[in-house]
Amino acid sequence: MGFAPRLQLRDSPGLSPVFPVTALDATSLALRHSIHATTVTDPPRLLLLGGTSEAGRLAEALCARGDLVVVTSLAGRTASAAALPGQHRTGGFGGTEGLAAYLRAERISALVDATHPFAARMRWHAYEACNRTGVPRLRLERPPWQAQPGDRWTVVATLAAGATVIGSGPFRRVFVTIGRGELAALAPASDGRRRWLVRCLDPPERLPLHPAEVVLDRGPFSVDGETALLVRHRIDLVVTKNSGGDATAAKLEAARNLGVAVLVIDRPPSPEGPSATTVAGALEWVRASFGLSAQGDASSWRRGE
Q: 144 or 296: whose CB is closer to ligand NAP?
A: 144
Region of 267 on the Ramachandran plot (φ > 0 left; ψ -120 to 50 alpha; else beta)? beta
Q: 275 or 300: whose CB is closer to ligand NAP?
A: 275
Smallest separation (angstroms) from ligand NAP to the CB of 66 = 24
CA dihedral (216, 220, 223, 228) in degrees, to 10, reads -20
Q: 37 or 112: whose CB is closer to ligand NAP?
A: 112
Q: Give the number of other CB atoms < 10 A from CB of residue 195.
A: 18
Q: Identify the residue among 24, 29, 93, 282 touching ligand NAP (CB under 6 A).
A: 93
Smallest separation (angstroms) from ligand NAP to the CB of 147 = 21
Stretch that binds ligand NAP, among 70-78, 157-165, 169-177, 221-229 (CB under 6 A): 70-78
Residue 292 CA to residue 302 CA, distance in Å, equals 13
**Residue nearest to ligand NAP as judged by C-beta position:** 92
Q: 37 or 84: whose CB is closer to ligand NAP?
A: 84
Smallest separation (angstroms) from ligand NAP to the CB of 78 = 7
Q: 120 or 160: whose CB is closer to ligand NAP?
A: 120
Site mask for ligand NAP (CB under 6 A), range 107-126, x = bound: --------xx-xxxxx--x-
Length of the chain: 305
Closest CA to 291 of 6, 68, 63: 68
User: Applying CB under 6 A, does 51 fall inside the site for ligand NAP?
Assistant: yes
User: Applying CB under 6 A, does 74 fall inside the site for ligand NAP?
Assistant: yes
Q: 205 or 305: whose CB is closer to ligand NAP?
A: 205
Helix spans in the chain (H): 26-37, 53-65, 95-105, 122-133, 159-168, 223-232, 250-258, 279-290
Rg (CA), the chain: 22
Q: Give the number of other CB atoms < 10 A from CB of residue 295.
A: 10
* Interaction site with ligand NAP (CB under 6 A): 49-52, 73-75, 77, 92-95, 98-99, 115-116, 118-122, 125, 179
